[in-house]
Amino acid sequence: MDLPLILHKKHSLATVGNQQMVNFTSNDYLGFSDNEELKAHVKHALDLYGLGATGSRRLSGNHQVYLETEAHIARWIGKPAGVMFNSGYQMNGAIFSTLASKSSLIITDKLIHASIIDGVQNSEAQLVRFRHNDVHHLSQVLKKYAHNKTDIYIVIESIYSMDGDMSPLLAIIELKKQYQATLIVDEAHSIGLYGNGGNGWVNQHSGLDDVDVMLLAFGKSFGLSGAMLVSNQEIVQRMKAKCRSYIYSTALPLPIASGIKKASEIISERNDLNQKLNKNIRLFKTLISTTSNTQIQPIIIGDKDTAIQVERKLLERGFFCRSVHHPTVPKGESRLRITITSAHTATQIKALAEAINNAFVQ
């Protein structure tokens, strides 16, 4: 399948092929990929540090910028330590081969991101999934599988990437305590948007003491790339000592690593961007009825061909929206995945809603 070719992207617009469109596919929820203050900082860091890390952290690349950013982000979140990775996929793919063993049980939500599933499959641990956001089913799974296991991990997302709905964190914390499990929350789509000054979904729910590991990805609301696992010293030191994708990969470019720290500082100060994002989400939801209250707005269509047709109609009308299908989402649940950002204008959102309504009737 041909992927749409992007020739130019700025704010809420994208030139796709030869057509300028309003972009509703971006995970750059706060418009940070084009934030002037952040770009100026990264340009300065580029002059200061150069481009590449020149080696893995363990060999020649352990620059103080990484240590400063790790310490800063961990403090911002409220955890003792953090370890950076080149991407969320790389991080999630390596967690369980590092921390878990043959006698571990890993329980994930059914809709957990593919990177976590791949990560479990890279380990020797047993994987069991519970029905999406179904705490009762999680308790049944724990009852059935937890005995004889040396350690149990429960893995959830804060906001699910294809559904935009939120996990029942507090109820899951109760079960985690009951079974003395390690609770891991992937905050890829919530960091920067929730909590005090953007410090995340777990903090918004005062869950910091009960969530053992938080996974942050910086390619979304930070407008950059890279990722960080934040946790206690023991887990972070184990990752730094043993994790193969940390040890055997060239570290993130230094300007990006420095930009991650700067982005968190700007996010802490710029509440206006979050307010604008929330206003845009509310506007969209007054026009189109969906099950999500977050910036990720799925419009479930069901049949793959129909979803592709709707996508085409929107593209023809100048709205860059993508449909997603199995295996990214369950079979028969093809959908449009619309993402709302702070860069959208009210006019753009109203026009999209009208085009969506028209696409279904024509």
Ligand X SMILES: Cc1ncc(COP(=O)(O)O)c(C=O)c1O
Residues in contact with ligand X by the rule CB under 6 A? 87-89, 92, 113, 115, 157, 161, 186, 188-189, 217, 219, 227
| Maximum alpha-carbon separation in the chain | 60
Q: Is omega for the bond preceding 327 within 30 degrees of 0, making it cis?
A: yes
What's the N-to-C CA distance of the chain in angstroms? Answer: 25
Of the two residues 189 and 240, which places its CB atom closer to ligand X in the complex? 189
Amino acid making up residue 230: V
Shortest CB 217 distance to ligand X, Å: 4
CB of 157 to ligand X, least distance (A): 5
CA of 152: how far to CAs of 142, 358, 362, in Å? 9, 49, 51
Q: Are 199 and 193 a contacting pair, CB within 8 Å?
A: no
246 touches 90 (CB < 8 A): no
CB nearer ligand X, residue 66 or residue 348? 66
**The amino acid at 354:** E
SS3 267: helix
251 vs 355, which CB is nearer to ligand X? 251
Beta carbon of residue 250, minimum distance to ligand X (angstroms, whole number)? 16
Burial zone of 204 (CB within 10 Å; 0-12 exposed, 13-18 middle, 19+ buried): middle
* Residue 249 or 348 having the CB closest to ligand X: 249
- The phi and psi torsions of 207 (rounded to 5 degrees) equal -100, 10
Asked if residues 232 and 80 have their Cβ atoms less than 8 Å apart, the reply is yes
Structure tokens that stand for 206 in this block: 């005062």
For the bound state, the minimum distance from the C-beta of residue 345 to ligand X, rounded and expressed in Å, comes to 25
Separation between Cα atoms, residue 273 and residue 74, nearest integer Å: 23
Nearest position to ligand X, beta carbon: 88
Phi and psi at 167, nearest 5°, equal -80, 150
C-beta closer to ligand X: residue 85 or 359: 85
At residue 195's C-alpha, the angle toward residues 192 and 200, to 5°, is 50
- To ligand X, the closest distance from the beta carbon of 114 in angstroms equals 8
Q: How far is the CB of 165 from ligand X (least distance, A)?
A: 13
Q: How far is the CB of 161 from ligand X (least distance, A)?
A: 4
Whichever of 204 and 309 has its CB closer to ligand X, that residue is 204
- Length reported for the chain: 362
Taking the complex as a whole, how short is the minimal distance between the CB of residue 191 and ligand X, in angstroms?
A: 11
Q: How far is the CB of 215 from ligand X (least distance, A)?
A: 7
CB of 89 to ligand X, least distance (A): 4
Q: Which is nearer to ligand X, 115 or 182 (CB)?
A: 115
CB closer to ligand X out of 108 and 274:
108
Which pair of structure tokens corresponds to residue 333? 């649940």
Closest by Cα among 131, 130, 135, 142 to 105: 142
Residue at 232: amino acid letter: N
Nearer to ligand X, 258 or 348 (CB): 258
Which string of DSSP letters, residue by residue, matches 35-100?
Answer: -HHHHHHHHHHHHHH-S---SBIIIII--HHHHHHHHHHHHHHT-SEEEEES-HHHHHHHHHHHH-
The smaller minimum CB distance to ligand X, of residues 157 and 311, is found at 157
